[in-house]
Amino acid sequence: MQKNGLKKIRVVLSLLFLSAVSILFIDVENKIVENWSGPFLYLQFVPSLLKFIYIAGIGTAGFIFVIILTVIFGRVYCSSICPLGTVQDIVSYISKRFRKAKYKFLRSNNKSRYAILFLVVLLLMVGTNFGLLLLDPFSNFGRVLASFVRPVFVFLNNGLVLALETFDNYSLYPVEIKGFNFVSTIFSAMLLVIVINLSYKYGRLYCNVICPVGSLFGIISKYSFFKVVINKERCNGCGLCESVCKSECIDSQIKHIDVTRCVECFNCLGVCHGRCISYNMSLGEKAGKILSYNGPESRRDFIQKIGISFVSLSGLVKVEKKIDVYVDNKTPVVIKNPISPPGSLSLEHFTDKCTSCHLCITACPTQVLQPSFLHYGFSGILHPMLDYKKSFCNYGCTVCLNVCPTGAITPVQLEDKRLIQIGKAKFIEDNCVVKTQGTDCGACAEHCPTKAVRMVPYQDLRIPEVTGDICIGCGACEYACPSKPWKSIYVDSNIVHATAKKPLEDEIWKEDPKEDFPF
């Protein structure tokens, strides 16, 4: 055995990145996420890439550093920066305790992995990031945290709040979880089962077959400056290195490492008795060449398959984005689109960029952001939407704009956010308490931050009136509306976000205070 400093560095880095990302999603009281999501997620490849396409700059160039890192050091991203990779390593580490079986060289499944990568890129080129939504490791990791891990911490936090309360201490906040999202949970559960199962038995198989980021870096790492290489003269073919290789990419019989699958975990370096496996500059060696077993025939086959699956999928992704939500006895069917967060520009921009990582959902202080199902169409599954049954968008809040790592929600100043019109309130007089019950209500106007909804005389009562061009669609009116079973006021989504007029400011109240008491 030899000292394995590289592995130690890798382990420490991976735990650091894992913690940083996890903290953002778990952050029960939402104290960290708004200010730290930028730096903590800077190097996450897919979010950074998507954001860069929208706002190119040094602040979004994290993915370029990752590519440079890969060109120099190989797939170190997969072993230290990618949180889903680290999760798999933890599962593998645990599995070592229970399973006697050792890793064994596995032939590369190039067809599948490059087919998936190709498909994802193709989908991006035709304008949907549906592939990334399903397969981006960061987003998948985020959804798992949002669905399973955060609730545990919220539960613990609330338990602690109660315990402190008995000592009359109110330093911690109780956190309410508004609703449980079935689809999102099932989705994350499926992913988790696949990832845990694969990593328990086969180490990094997920990264080397399914993950499109892994496949992309696989291609780049062929040309990396540094590689893990076997000194063929000194190697006696004992197979120790192969038995610890999580990527199952070391073939000790022919003394070869498939670097396209090597994630630079450095486990092999420490086990070799003869010190004949090393991590070195090796520009000359052409990797991957030896493993091109399948020849040109399979390539045609593979392109055909992609073609077929793309055609079949494109039928699905073009699902109309419109769905029926609001049905009322007295009013004809109202067609309603989902309402996307302020800063997301339009439903189109949002669905193009969002990979459903759910960071905004976990960070939203009012929890108005909830995972959608088919509201954005099939290709926008699980995208966040504003759910005014749960809550409404706080007028003075810009958290989701500041945390979004992909640029799906673009950051703007609070002043500007307050004028982003994500939808417009629509009033249905026939449903309103004032008309049906003949009593005062006004809950909607009460909550309206811009007075787009205000009360006007109606018989001897007052009834709401909507001024559409100053409405920003925050949903406060819809949330507050008490009429049953249907709301009397609801927000109709803007497919393309607009800019609302500034709230009307009347003159300064001039009347001077009376000198005397009026009684």
Partner 1 sequence: MNRRNFLKKAVGTGVLAGSIGNIGALTDIYAMTSDVKDSEGYDLVAIKGGEPDVMFDRGIASLGGMKRFVKKGDTVVVKPNIGWDKTEEFGANTNPLLVKRIIQHCFEEGARNVYVFDNTCDEWRMCYENSGMKKAVNEVDGKLVPGNDKKFYSDVKVKQGKRLREAMVHERILESDVFINVPVLKSHGSARLTIAMKNLMGVVWDRRYWHRNDLHQCIADFATFRKPDLNVVDCYNVMMRNGPRGVSVKDVKRIKTQLISSDIVAVDTAATKVFGLETDDVPYINIAHDMKVGTKNLDQLNIAKLKI
- Binding residues for partner 1 (CB under 8 A): 29, 155, 158-159, 162-163, 165-166, 168, 170, 173-174, 176, 365-366, 391, 394-397, 433, 437, 439-443, 445-451, 454-455, 462, 480, 482-484, 503-509, 511, 513, 517-519
* Of 322 and 451, CB closest to partner 1: 451
CB 425 within 8 A of CB 452: yes
Closest CA to 21 of 151, 157, 137, 107: 137
How many Å apart are CA 239 and CA 277, to the nearest integer?
A: 11
* Of 301 and 446, CB closest to partner 1: 446
How many Å apart are CA 58 and CA 170, to the nearest integer?
A: 42
**Cα separations in angstroms, 169 against 116, 163, 177, 311, 364:** 54, 9, 22, 61, 26
In whole angstroms, the minimum distance from the beta carbon of 169 to partner 1 comes to 9
* Of 288 and 449, CB closest to partner 1: 449
285 HSE (CA, 13 A, CB side): 22
How many Å apart are CA 159 and CA 503, to the nearest integer?
A: 43
* Of 224 and 398, CB closest to partner 1: 398
In whole angstroms, the minimum distance from the beta carbon of 361 to partner 1 comes to 15
* Of 98 and 509, CB closest to partner 1: 509
For 373, the token pair is 């199902």
In whole angstroms, the minimum distance from the beta carbon of 155 to partner 1 comes to 7
How many Å apart are CA 199 and CA 207, to the nearest integer?
A: 9
Q: Is 334 helix (H, G, I), strand (E, B) or coil?
A: strand
In whole angstroms, the minimum distance from the beta carbon of 372 to partner 1 comes to 22
CB 257 within 8 A of CB 290: no
* Of 355 and 483, CB closest to partner 1: 483
* Of 201 and 451, CB closest to partner 1: 451
* Of 46 and 368, CB closest to partner 1: 368
In whole angstroms, the minimum distance from the beta carbon of 92 to partner 1 comes to 33
Residue type, 418: R
How many Å apart are CA 468 and CA 336, to the nearest integer?
A: 17
Counting Cβ atoms within 10 Å, is residue 118 exposed (0-12), middle (13-18) or buried (19+)?
Answer: middle
How many Å apart are CA 188 and CA 183, to the nearest integer?
A: 9
In whole angstroms, the minimum distance from the beta carbon of 359 to partner 1 comes to 18
For 163, the token pair is 């315990």
How many Å apart are CA 210 and CA 105, to the nearest integer?
A: 18
* Of 75 and 447, CB closest to partner 1: 447
433-466 b/e (C-beta count within 10 Å ≥ 16 → b): bbbeeeeebbbbbebbbbebbbbeeeeebbbbeb
* CA quadruple 280, 15, 362, 192: dihedral, nearest 10: 80
Write down the residue that tokens 């086959």 correspond to.
Answer: 301
* Of 401 and 445, CB closest to partner 1: 445
In whole angstroms, the minimum distance from the beta carbon of 22 to partner 1 comes to 22
In whole angstroms, the minimum distance from the beta carbon of 472 to partner 1 comes to 13
* Of 293 and 509, CB closest to partner 1: 509
Closest CA to 215 of 139, 318, 317, 116: 116
187 HSE (CA, 13 A, CB side): 25
In whole angstroms, the minimum distance from the beta carbon of 41 to partner 1 comes to 24
* Of 163 and 327, CB closest to partner 1: 163
In whole angstroms, the minimum distance from the beta carbon of 427 to partner 1 comes to 14
In whole angstroms, the minimum distance from the beta carbon of 445 to partner 1 comes to 4
For 453, the token pair is 């909804």
In whole angstroms, the minimum distance from the beta carbon of 417 to partner 1 comes to 14
